[in-house]
Structure 1
C-alpha cells in the first residue's frame, strides 16, 4: 500500500472565481485514490495555485513510496517541509491539510473502513447540523426572518448569521432585531452570530452586554476580536461576559490552539480541518480541548470533502455534538475581509462545492448528517462537475 502519486487541482466557484479550494488526490500502487481538500480563499491572486504547486512538488517528493497507513509519520515529514521553508503557520499548512485528509481517505479505503474508525470509532451515527450562514441585509431583514423560520421547519436546530456591518453601533435597533430573529426561530433553536467586529475590548464588552440584554438567548458570538492578533483582550472578553465566545477558524496547527486553551481565550474552539493541519491536527486539538473541558465545533466553509471529514471528526469526538453546514447562498465581502455587504452579482444559490461536486454526498435529513459508513470519507466525486469547476 505504497503511495504512488500525488496530484492536485484548483477549484473555483462564483464566490471564489480565481480559485478557493485545492482538490488533492493521493493514489497508491494498489489503485486506491484518497481525496482531500484545502481551502485557500484568495479572490485577488493565485494563492491556491501556490498551494497546488507545493503539494505536487515538495510534498509529493516527501510522500512517494511511503506506506499509506503511516499517516502520522507522513504528517511529520510534511511539517518538516513547512519548517524548512519557514512557513509553520501559513499557506504550507493549508496545503498539508488537504494532503493529510486525502491520506485518511486512502487509508480507510485500503482497509475497507470509514475514516471515523481510524480516529478511534464513532460515538454517534448522526450529527446535528447548524445552518451557515443566513446573510443579514438590513434593507431586507424580512428575508432573514423567513429563512430562519424555513430552516427551523426543515429540522435544523441551529442557525448562524453574518453580514450586518454596523452591528453593535445602534443598540436599541439591534436588540429589537435580535428579538425578531429569536421569535422567528422559536424557543428551541440555537442562534449564533458571526458578525460585529468591535474596535477593541471596551466596545466588544458593550456589544456583548447588548446581546445579553436583548433576551434573544444567543448561543455563541464568533470571533468578535482576533485570536491571532488580540488574544489577551479576547481572553478578557471571554472572562467578563456570560456569552459563549467562539473562535479558532483562523488558527493553524495544534500549537496555536494550545495557546488558546492555556490562556482560556475562548469558550468554544472552531478548527477548520481544511487548513488547520488536517484530521491529524484536528484529532490532537480534540484531545487537547477535552482535557480542558472546552467544546469543539469544526468550522467549515468548503466543499463536500471537508464537510464529510468534519462529520467523521465530530462523530469520533467523545463530546462531539454539532457540525457546520454551509448550504446557504454565499455573499462575498467587500473592503475589509470581515465586513460583508450584499453582492447583487452573486448568484442566490448555495455553492456548487456543496451541491454539485459529489455524486455521492453526505446524507442530510431533518437537520442531521448521517455519518458515512462506506470506506474512507464515504463520498464520491462527480468528475464532470470537478472538470467544470477546475481552473487550469
Structure 2
C-alpha cells in the first residue's frame, strides 16, 4: 500500500481536516490544526507531501520520526500539529486495513465508556459573559447527564490584582458549585492568564469549593514556577495543552508539577505520542485528561487513546449547542453522549468514523480565525 494524495479541508468554525488517500482505496482522516493558524499548518502539511507521497502508510513510527527529526529544526506548534494530523490519519488507515479500532493496536480497551466534560461558556471566543448565562449552560449540562464540567477564569487578571477581583472569581465558582452540588465535578481553567504571584492567592480562595483541578494556573514555560504553585495548594494542577511530544512533557512530569497531564492529540504529535506521554505520567500516578477544543475528528482520535490508557480522568470536548463538535452534520454517524455523561468506546475500524465529504462543502471557509485580544484598563495587552 502506498500513499497517493493528501487533501485538506478548512471547516467552520476554525477546523482543518486532512484526508490521506492510498492506492488500495483506503483513506484515513486527521485534524492538523493550530487554533488561529490553520492556514499556516496547511502549508506545513503540504511541505510534508514529498516525504509522504509514495510511502507505506503502515510504517507510522518510521514516518513520524522522519517528519519530526528529518530537518534540523524540531518541534513547535505548527510542525507538530501538522505531524499530529498526518499521524491520526495513518492510524485510521492501519485500523481500517486490519478491520480493528486503533485502540486494539495499542493494547486493547481498558474501559467500556469514556467520561466526558463540556465547557460552561457560550462560545469559544467569549471573553466575558454574565453568571446567569453560565448557570443556564450548567443546567443544560446537568440535564444531559454530565458529571464533569469546566470553565475558564474570566479575564483579565492583573499580575497583582485586588481583593475585589479574587472575590469575583470565587463568587462565580461558588455559584456553579452550589448549582451542581457535591457529586458533580467542576474544574476551572486559569488559561495561563494568572501570574505566579496571583495564582496561589486565587487557589487558596477557591480551595473550599473543591475544584476537580485547576488548569494552567500559570504559563507552562517555567516549570519551576508551576512546581512552586502546585506545592502551595491541595487542588490538583493540570497542564499540557501547549506542550509538544514526550520531550516537552519530561520536565513537567519528572518534577511532578502537575497531577493531570493534558496532551492535545492535534498538537502533541498524535495518538501514539499521547499514549507515550500518558505512560510517562502513569509512572508518577498522574491522570490524563486529553485536551480537545476542536472538531469531531480530534474527538475520534482522543476516544481511541481514552479507551486504552489506564490513567484516564475525563475527556474534554467543547459542547457546542449544534453538536457539530460531536460530528452532527459532518460524520455519517455522530457521537452521542449517554445519560451517564459518557460516550461508549467506538467499535468501528480505525478511528471509527465516516466523514461526509459532501457536508464539508457547506461548512467550507478560508481558514482565517484569530483568538480575541484582551487588554487591561491602561491599554496594555493581557493574556488570553
1:350, distance to aligned residue in structure 2 (A):
5.6
Q: Deviations over 1:282-327 (max 9, x none)?
A: 1110111111211111000111101011111011002224111211
| Paired position in structure 1 for 2:206 | 211
| Paired position in structure 1 for 2:171 | 176
Query: Closer, same or farther in 2 for the Cα pair 1:354/1:161, shift >3 Å?
Result: farther
| Paired position in structure 1 for 2:302 | 310
| Paired position in structure 1 for 2:147 | 157
| Paired position in structure 1 for 2:328 | 355
User: What are the within-5 Å matches in structure 2 for residues 106-117 of structure 1?
Assistant: 106-117=93-104
Q: Deviations over 1:254-278 (max 9, x none)?
A: 1101121112222210000001100
Give the secondary structure class of the aligned counterpart of 1:159. strand
- Confirm or deny: 8 A CA contact 1:13 1:351 kept in the other structure: no
| Paired position in structure 2 for 1:61 | 50
> Is 1:221 aligned to residue 214 of structure 2?
yes
- Confirm or deny: 8 A CA contact 2:264 2:292 kept in the other structure: yes
Bigger drift between 254-263 and 158-167 goes to 158-167
1:69, distance to aligned residue in structure 2 (A):
2.1
Give the secondary structure class of the aligned counterpart of 2:293. coil
Structure with more strand by fraction: 1
Give the secondary structure class of the aligned counterpart of 1:23. strand
User: What are the within-5 Å matches in structure 2 for residues 255-334 of structure 1?
Assistant: 255-328=247-320
- Confirm or deny: 8 A CA contact 1:5 1:60 kept in the other structure: no
Give the secondary structure class of the aligned counterpart of 2:130. helix
Alpha-carbon distance in 1 for matches of 2:174, 2:5:
51
Q: How many residues align?
A: 357
User: What are the within-5 Å matches in structure 2 for residues 195-206 of structure 1?
Assistant: 195=190, 197=192, 199-206=194-201
RMSD over equivalenced CA pairs, Å: 2.2
Q: Deviations over 1:208-259 (max 9, x none)?
A: 10111xx32111111121112x221111101221111111000111110112
Alpha-carbon distance in 2 for matches of 1:27, 1:137:
40
Alpha-carbon distance in 2 for matches of 1:377, 1:154:
25
Alpha-carbon distance in 1 for matches of 2:229, 2:325:
37
> Is 1:119 aligned to residue 111 of structure 2?
no
User: What are the within-5 Å matches in structure 2 for residues 356-375 of structure 1?
Assistant: 356-366=329-339, 367-375=341-349
Gaps of 5+ in 1: 15-19, 330-348
Gaps of 5+ in 2: 367-384
- Confirm or deny: 8 A CA contact 2:317 2:325 kept in the other structure: no
- Confirm or deny: 8 A CA contact 1:8 1:55 kept in the other structure: no
